[in-house]
Amino acid sequence: MRMNDEELEALRRRRLMELQQQQMQEALEDQEMKEKEFEQQRQHLLRLILTSEARERLGRIRIARPDIAEAIENQLIMLAQSGRLQSKITDEYLKELLARVMPKKKEINIRRK
């Protein structure tokens, strides 16, 4: 029994699609693994440069304001990589940094007549 050209071509197309899907899946898994490794390196570096109190505060900020926490982390990592940190970041220094980064709250006054 011999396949005709149409059946053979259909098998080839199906196999090519399977291979492409497999390659896409492998690329996605590879990307996820790289992102996970990068995040682990970030967390390791932050553990090295922050005191435990500062790390706890940053963790609480991450829950409430993830965008602010990420900005602070990026600044701290850049400081550490450039060699401008002389010692660990304390909770007090982190508070000062937060005061500069956090948007100013608008005061709302309600007047009753």
Other residues' Cβ atoms within 10 Å of the Cβ of residue 61? 20
pLDDT (0 to 100) of residue 3: 67
pLDDT (0 to 100) of residue 51: 93
* Global pTM exceeds 0.75: no
Domains in the chain, CATH or no CATH each? 5-100 (1.10.8.140)
N-to-C CA span, the chain: 96
pLDDT means per 10 residues, the chain with 113 residues, are 80 94 95 94 92 93 92 90 87 88 75 82
